[in-house]
Structure 1
Amino acid sequence: MLTILQFDAASASVLQRLLAAGDLPTLAGLRERGRWHELDAPATQFAAGAQHTLYSGVELGEHGLFYPFQWSAPDQRVRYMGAFEAPAPIWERLGTRTLAVDPYESRPPTTTPPGELICGWQLHDRVVLRQWSAPGGAHGRLERLFGPPEPVDEVFGRHTADEMLGLRRRLLAAPGRVADAATLLLGEQSFDLAWLTFCAAHVAGHQFWDLSQLDPAGLDPAAERVLGATLEDVYRAVDAAMGRVVAALPPDADLMVVSPVGMEINTSRADMLPEMLRAVLDPATTRDAPAQGGSIWRLRAALPSGLRAKVASALPEKVALELTSRLETRGVDWSTTKAFAHPAENQGYIRLNLRGRERDGIVAPEEAKDVMEEIIAGLSTFTDLDGSPVIRSIERVADLFGTGERAHQLPDLIVKWVDTPATQARGVTSPQYGTVLRHGVGSGRSGNHTEGDAWALVVPGASTPVHPEGRPRLEDIAATAAALAGRDAGLTGRPLLRP
Structure 2
Amino acid sequence: MTSFPRLLIIGLDSAEPSLVFERWRADLPTLNRLMAEGVYGELESCIPAITVPAWSCMMSGRDPGELGVYGFRNRVDRSYGRMVVADSRAIRFPRLWDILGDAGWRVAVIGVPGTYPPSAVNGTLVSCFLAPSTDATYTFPPTLAERLAAWSAEATPGHTYLLDVPDFRSDDKARIVRDIYAMCDQRFAIAEALIREERPDVLMLVDMGVDRIHHALWKHMDPQHPLFVPDSPFADAIHAYYRHVDTQIAALLAHCAAETAVLVVSDHGARPLMGGVRINQWLIAQGDLTLHTIPDTPTSLDQADVDWSRTRAWGAGGYYGRIFLNVRGREPQGVIPPAEYERVRTDLAARLEAMPGPDGRPLGNRVFVPQRLYRAVRGVAPDLIVYFGDLAWRAVGTVGGNGLFTRENDTGPDDANHAQHGLFIWRDPQRPGRGQRLGNVQIYDILPTLLSRFNIPIPAGLRGTVLEL
Q: TM-score, normalised by structure 2?
A: 0.81
| Equivalent position to 1:152, from 154, 165, 175 | 165
Deviations 1:73-103 (A, max 9, x none): 3444222223962133221233231111100
Deviations 1:293-327 (A, max 9, x none): 4x32xxxxxxxxxxxxxxxxxxxxxxxxxxxxxx7
- The alpha-carbon distance between structure 1 residues 52 and 366, as it changes in their structure 2 partners (threshold 3 A), is same
Contact 1:280/1:378 (<8 A) preserved: no
2:113 paired with 1:99: no
- 1:3 is aligned to 8
Gaps of 5+ in 1: 214-218, 297-326, 429-433
SS of 2:426's equivalent in the other structure is: strand
> What letter is aligned with 1:19?
W
| CA–CA separation in structure 1 for the residues paired with 2:21 and 2:437 | 24
- The alpha-carbon distance between structure 1 residues 17 and 292, as it changes in their structure 2 partners (threshold 3 A), is farther
2:368 paired with 1:363: no
- The alpha-carbon distance between structure 1 residues 418 and 333, as it changes in their structure 2 partners (threshold 3 A), is same
Gaps of 5+ in 2: 1-5, 154-159, 223-227
- 2:66 is aligned to 62
| CA–CA separation in structure 2 for the residues paired with 1:334 and 1:413 | 19
Deviations 1:379-423 (A, max 9, x none): 45643444243343333332222x4151x5321222222269659
Deviations 1:198-221 (A, max 9, x none): 1100111111111499xxxxx999
- 1:319 is aligned to none
- 1:347 is aligned to 320
> What letter is aligned with 2:75?
W
| CA–CA separation in structure 2 for the residues paired with 1:469 and 1:381 | 34
> What letter is aligned with 1:152?
V
- 2:27 is aligned to 23
| RMSD (Å), alpha carbons | 3.7
- 1:134 is aligned to 140
Contact 1:108/1:134 (<8 A) preserved: no
- The alpha-carbon distance between structure 1 residues 25 and 43, as it changes in their structure 2 partners (threshold 3 A), is same
CA positional deviation for 1:265: 0.5
- 1:311 is aligned to none
CA positional deviation for 1:134: 0.6
| Equivalent position to 2:125, from 101, 117, 121 | 117
2:467 paired with 1:462: no
CA positional deviation for 1:2: 1.2
CA positional deviation for 1:24: 0.7
- 1:164 is aligned to 173
| CA–CA separation in structure 1 for the residues paired with 2:54 and 2:65 | 11
SS of 1:171's equivalent in the other structure is: helix
Deviations 1:114-168 (A, max 9, x none): 2111124xx78749xx871111111221212322223524475xx33xx111001
- 1:337 is aligned to 311
Percent identity reads: 22
Output aligned runs, 1:77-476, within 5 Å.
77-82=82-87, 85-86=90-91, 87-95=93-101, 96-110=105-119, 112-120=120-128, 126=132, 132-147=138-153, 148-150=160-162, 151-154=164-167, 159-160=170-171, 163-211=172-220, 224-225=232-233, 227-267=234-274, 269-270=276-277, 272-282=278-288, 293=298, 295-296=299-300, 328=302, 331-342=305-316, 344-379=317-352, 382-401=355-374, 403-406=375-378, 409-418=380-389, 435-436=403-404, 438=406, 440-443=408-411, 444-451=413-420, 453-462=421-430, 471-476=440-445
| CA–CA separation in structure 1 for the residues paired with 2:244 and 2:125 | 23
- 2:17 is aligned to 12
Contact 1:277/1:379 (<8 A) preserved: no
